[in-house]
Chains A and B, each alone.
Chain A
């Protein structure tokens, strides 16, 4: 009887604790990215693409159970990126402090989800905001997930919307002089709506797969006002792209635990849009568990795309073209991205600090067939 009472007391205590808002985890993600190439869109498809970006974000997850036993999770994230761009300084070469020579982007977001463990269902919603000198973005999303009775499969659906404002900062030679303050730029909207469906399935004790499909519709000003395009007659124009775009990416993932030491992570995506871009991307990662708490992960990603219908290199467009761009991100190319990472997650915590759950670092080198190459190093510290 004493044992039963003691058990009852523990249960009551445990339920009481769960109803309080409790800290689940926090993540600090920091990345440094640098790129170089010779096809900057700002200068019409020629010129330096040198760019650096230092990105930091911190996210926090709290949770509590309500009276009906449903788990509510609350997430908050704050991100700050600081970048410098050689090409953006060419918007107005006469001044080194032109609009986007260097800028800082802030992007906070909030999310909530409610999981009914008994029914295997989860609903959630979130909002996000992003601001930098010439761009503002407000986003909102709702999502739903339902596990199968056996808990081996899960269906999920997500709807997202972004409402953006692009400042119309034109190249200096194409600006209309005498329109008031130089920093008082007009803005124009860009909207993005997406719906995604996914299905994840446990195949056996070592293999799980996921299928995901998305439909993305963008509408508004989809080019950028400071992207120059030089025509065959040497005249210079601002990039002009259609005001609608429909994107359809379809992806497949499969993760397989091989023996006790290796995990094979694979991903493939086929993509199609109505601007004429078709692409294929595949990635393979092999997690090698040196010990149960230390692993290294070499990875390789291959990507190829066809050119958008509106792309042509420097001085190739003519006055007969309705839409035109010399942005090489929309050109035909293939790319290779490879590198490695490591992860440490000792049970006693990093540096014996129990709250410091794991530390992960990853480096990758990106090489595009247009000549652009970049390097990225990222760090993720997880607090638990």
Chain B
């Protein structure tokens, strides 16, 4: 329980920052998206991280919300 509270506070702060950003967001036209469309700006996890995400989901108690797997496959070892 001790660690749950700071975690939720951090998450709440992060969401608050994003909420503030959302309020100030501007409409970006397609021709203005050259930086946003950069291959390294994509928000989802990248192909090269695939095995990293798998081993983290096996070696750590937590998983999910990162594009990695949340079930299926053994991870027995």
Task: Show the binding face of A for B, using Cβ within 8 Å.
Answer: 27, 29, 31, 33, 35, 51, 53, 55, 57, 59, 83, 85, 87-88, 100, 105, 107, 128, 130, 132, 134-135, 137, 139, 150-152, 160, 162, 164, 166, 192-194, 196, 200-214, 216, 218, 224, 226, 247, 249-255, 257, 263, 265, 267-273, 275, 277-281, 287, 295, 297, 303-306, 308, 329-330, 335, 337, 341, 343, 345, 358, 360-362, 364, 366, 368, 372, 374, 376, 378-380, 382
Contacts and interface: CB of A to CB of B under 8 A. Distances in A.
Contacts of B51: 29, 31, 33, 53, 55, 376, 378
Nearest to A327: B61
B71 A166 contact: no
Interface string B59-73: 111111110001111
20 contacts: A31-B52, A105-B74, A150-B27, A164-B72, A203-B22, A207-B21, A208-B36, A209-B43, A247-B63, A252-B14, A257-B35, A269-B62, A270-B8, A278-B3, A279-B60, A280-B3, A281-B66, A360-B47, A362-B52, A374-B55
A202 B25 contact: yes
Given A214-B65, A279-B3, A279-B7, 9 more contacts: A100-B77, A132-B74, A202-B25, A206-B35, A209-B43, A216-B63, A250-B65, A271-B65, A337-B52
Contacts of B50: 29, 31, 57, 378
B60 A160 contact: no
A271 B64 contact: yes
A85 to B, nearest CB: 4
Given A85-B77, A378-B52, A213 B65 contact: yes
Q: What is the interface of chain A mostly: helix, strand, loop, or mixed?
A: strand
B64 A249 contact: yes
Contacts of B25: 152, 201-204
A241 B53 CA distance: 24
Interface string B28-42: 101011011011111
Given A139-B72, A268-B11, A209 B60 contact: no
Contacts, number: 238
Given A33-B51, A329-B61, A297 B40 contact: yes
Contacts of A267: 66
Interface of B: 1-4, 6-8, 10-11, 14-15, 18, 21-22, 24-28, 30, 32-33, 35-36, 38-43, 46-52, 54-56, 58-66, 70-74, 76-77
A248 to B, nearest CB: 8
B66 A376 contact: no
Q: Which of B18, B36, B65, B72 has the most CB of A within 10 A?
A: B65
B24 to A, nearest CB: 7
B18 A166 contact: no
Contact of A271 (B28, B48, B52, B62): B62
B32 to A, nearest CB: 5
B74 A134 contact: yes
Contact of A205 (B32, B59, B77): B32
A33 B17 CA distance: 36
A85 B76 CA distance: 10
Given A162-B71, A257-B41, A341-B48, A202 B28 contact: yes
A374 B33 CA distance: 38
B40 A211 contact: no
Nearest to A28: B47
B61 A279 contact: yes
B48 A329 contact: no
Q: Which of B25, B33, B60, B62 has the most CB of A within 10 A?
A: B62
B11 A249 contact: no
A162 B33 contact: no
Contacts of A249: 62-66
A270 B71 contact: no
A252 B26 contact: no
Given A329-B60, A343-B40, A192 B28 contact: no
A205 B61 contact: no
Q: Which of B25, B33, B59, B72 has the most CB of A within 10 A?
A: B72
